[in-house]
Structure 1
């Protein structure tokens, strides 16, 4: 058993997994920047873009099938059976006065290597045409979103070009989205947002009968809607949302879920028990049930049948992603994005029994393998620009393969039908982990062990970490250290701070401010009253010792809470300006040209000197 996975780094390449995990040497790698690369839905072809061409590879032989010489192709899309390749090129304004753009959307017929149709669409969002499952028709909307056109493409081998549409459908107001159903009898679902007081509407029509909708649903609070058909095309889920929450309970707006069915023409709103946004919805591959993750975190995960009846609910946990395996046997429920990355695997055929839980942190891509036995998780750029890489897990929770990349942009399995693989049995052998997975787990375990063995103790501030003792007597507060720094005293922990001084200037005369003197007298009066002793005689300030450039330990009047006086701060500020003026004068003497603002600074030198002398400073 083997299957391929496609990895996009700076350039795409294919890797054969499960057997040897090596890069496919037969895969022709591109030489230049690749903007888009993907498999066809049936896995028959693989295409990627180059600056001046689009390359299509036959995956069965691994060789280049053909090259389409076309410049500036930014996005590509295959039809369901890989018969047609749709390309979106760079839009170019041909005529600015008339507003005519070039025909940048092209449909290429791989069967006869011809471009059969092209039109203009300057917006990359929503440019892709939709095909029916049998590829008899393809559908596209017009530029004003008021008309849907259906084109007949039944005879692909002899189809040289497409003319006018086979039939059209016009809507009363601009539609926001539409979706063609899978299956042999295709239908189309059209969503019209609410406008001018009219409610929003989802209508389903059988092709090509547009006289009467098979099923329709009107509702409010819907500016956008994501339409999702089940695999048989018999039921539709509509996830309606608004950008603004009228109740002001959610920053992300409001979301509601609606169910419409063709068989029986039923429609209903799915009643969810917990308030909050809807994080994810998905249909089971069997088309008989769907699941919803909703509510404020921790969220609820519930399962409903095709009629909207509740089947089962999982325990309340912080989860936002749910994926069925291709055969519908296993269900993956995970919390990615801003959550921790916990992945739970449940057995749907064994009454939703949990099989295993494992951690896949920083996951931005998560997909089941085509055979339903393995899970791919990857961290890609630009979602995250660090720790880019992939992991392959067995559904039992065992890590099978690991590979890291400097930059990983996209990753995907090669599509294959589930019928090509044997059914999963109880006696299936779990494969042995690759050496890359073993090394990754060993490094992870070593990091965990080192974190556990790291000694931990009481927190100590940075200034007390070099002390030999941890007693309370050795520790000091920031206030005490600042106060000691202002008077030149050593702190209790033995650290003697540097007294700040101006180079070339004598120490400033410490003057006690009025507020400091007033507060000091209050404290002395209160202390004298408590001890019933006469108040101390006011001590005159002692002069500054010029030899040591330190303040007297008794002269603390100019310092309040370790902060210098206003006069001291002003002197330092003026001296700083004098140093800047001296620098400018040196530049002027060397012949360097000065700006007007710099010359005005030099002219203010005399004013600064006079102000310094008034504050008691002298050269």
Structure 2
């Protein structure tokens, strides 16, 4: 079922399984796309699921079959005297609909376009606004032939008034300015031939009817182009491009950059109907943050609000309100629509069990004078109170909650500390059991950080080594007692909690600094012995090698001080 208007019902059109709708530029016609049903499998006949409804005449004026929802919408000229429909991507039929009460025979077009090569069908087309309408037609590249965008004056399809050939174009998005004098062509591919981007490749071209110029827009950052849009004034356009956070740049009608906004995670940009305000938002896989800038006041930001899970976003015809909606099948939960004032205040909300499509009814811009300044937002509807209160409670709860240290999800809601999640502690746990999880590097197992090391039982090998050292020390003391003996004191090793290995101390399974120093000095002594053997057989040595030999006494003296003996 299709309902026209939100606050009061103007008309109801009872058609089952309507999935999409589209208004003509002035709101005279409403086009509907319903679910296609196969009537005869042998002949391939489908139901006529595209219907055009005349709102003034309150009846359907034509219908036809279109299985694909992509590209189903009929296109109207600005004055609504003609509308065009796609015929198998090989022909374009244009019909005269100046008489809103007359029914239309879709098999007898007023004008017709046909591709020159049937083996290279066009992919999409776009009719320009303005009093002298033109039509832009895109034919993708095929079999080594470049892609082509051609612009024709309606109904003269013999010779294009402007065209552009380019490669790397599997698809192309066409956008006219409000006067119908210039066209933006956003060409894209799914795969980047240079293997530099996972997202494929996008290029933006500018084509102009006046003077038949064309150029490629150079962007200063690498990455995909997320969105393009013309200003209603037709004097500039905006592009969001680059890897996130993306860049938003404004260009004049000739493609020269004039202003850039700060980089932010955004992928949608929309001008208000009078070109006074610019909406820049991040929808889809982004958070849904919406920024509104005053274009006529040096891009001053006037509001910021969150519209998460938005799949439809439109300015109202008056340029004061913004419609955001969550629709199915993009999302099958939280379906509904919200109306925001440009100042960021939510003024209307309506939830639906399943919302398939929603849009403002198009109206002529002359019906709404341009804004000198933005008025205050009207009082919010009753439907927004519960939503606003819920949001305020969530913000208050988030502000009251202390911001502690980050803990990974698997360590939350448990008594365990994040200190236990290091790789070293996991390895110790797997080797020695769960009691080793509180170990820290360089400390005995089970040591609590900041506490003194507990006494550990002495092993048999440690006791044996200790007795040897004590006996040796006693012998040295006896020798030093005789007057003729040469004193050669050796400092007794300090007893520590750990295991003695080869004169060194191992604490908590880690070799002590003294042991490492002794090993390093012994390595130098072995190198010196090797050099002395070379010197003895007459092998010439370098100056650095000779200087190493001279340091032998210093190394042995340092070893004695560390308690090492031959």
TM-score interval (norm. to shorter): 0.5 to 0.7
Alignment RMSD: 3.9
- Distance (Å, rounded) in 1 between the aligned partners of 2:177 and 2:355: 31
1:340 is matched with 287
Matches within 5 A, 1:530-541: 530-532=462-464
- Distance (Å, rounded) in 2 between the aligned partners of 1:352 and 1:400: 25
1:267 is matched with 214
Secondary structure at the counterpart of residue 251 of structure 1: coil
Match of 2:6 among 4, 10, 15: 15
| Structure 1 residues 464 and 323, CA gap change in structure 2 (3 angstroms) | closer
In structure 1, the gaps of 5 or more residues are: 1-9, 17-23, 28-44, 52-71, 468-474, 485-491, 493-523, 535-619
1:138 is matched with 83
1:418 is matched with 365
- Distance (Å, rounded) in 2 between the aligned partners of 1:179 and 1:258: 15
2:70 is matched with 125
1:382/1:409 contact within 8 Å kept: yes
Displacement of 1:312 in angstroms is: 1.2
1:149 is matched with 93
In structure 2, the gaps of 5 or more residues are: 418-424, 437-445, 447-456, 467-566
1:114/1:160 contact within 8 Å kept: no
Secondary structure at the counterpart of residue 221 of structure 2: coil
| Structure 1 residues 483 and 285, CA gap change in structure 2 (3 angstroms) | closer
2:114 is matched with 170
| Structure 1 residues 445 and 152, CA gap change in structure 2 (3 angstroms) | closer
Greater Rg, structure 1 or structure 2?
2
1:103/1:119 contact within 8 Å kept: yes
1:112/1:158 contact within 8 Å kept: no
1:300 is matched with 247
> TM-score scaled to structure 2, two decimals?
0.66
Displacement of 1:424 in angstroms is: 2.4
Matches within 5 A, 1:449-488: 449-454=396-401, 465=415
Matches within 5 A, 1:60-71: none
1:116/1:162 contact within 8 Å kept: no
| Structure 1 residues 182 and 47, CA gap change in structure 2 (3 angstroms) | farther
- Distance (Å, rounded) in 2 between the aligned partners of 1:225 and 1:276: 17
1:501 is matched with none
Secondary structure at the counterpart of residue 297 of structure 1: coil
- Distance (Å, rounded) in 1 between the aligned partners of 2:395 and 2:40: 64
- Distance (Å, rounded) in 2 between the aligned partners of 1:463 and 1:527: 42
Match of 1:198 among 122, 145, 167: 145
- Distance (Å, rounded) in 1 between the aligned partners of 2:271 and 2:318: 12
Q: How many residues align?
A: 434
2:297 is matched with 350
2:290/2:307 contact within 8 Å kept: yes
- Distance (Å, rounded) in 2 between the aligned partners of 1:116 and 1:251: 46
Matches within 5 A, 1:156-555: 156-158=100-102, 161=105, 164-171=108-115, 172=117, 173-402=120-349, 408-426=355-373, 428-434=375-381, 437=384, 440-454=387-401, 465=415, 528-532=460-464
- Distance (Å, rounded) in 2 between the aligned partners of 1:249 and 1:46: 53
Deviations 1:550-580 (A, max 9, x none): xxxxxxxxxxxxxxxxxxxxxxxxxxxxxxx
| Structure 1 residues 266 and 366, CA gap change in structure 2 (3 angstroms) | same
- Distance (Å, rounded) in 2 between the aligned partners of 1:340 and 1:123: 30
1:182/1:232 contact within 8 Å kept: yes
Displacement of 1:263 in angstroms is: 1.5
2:15 is matched with 50
Displacement of 1:478 in angstroms is: 6.2
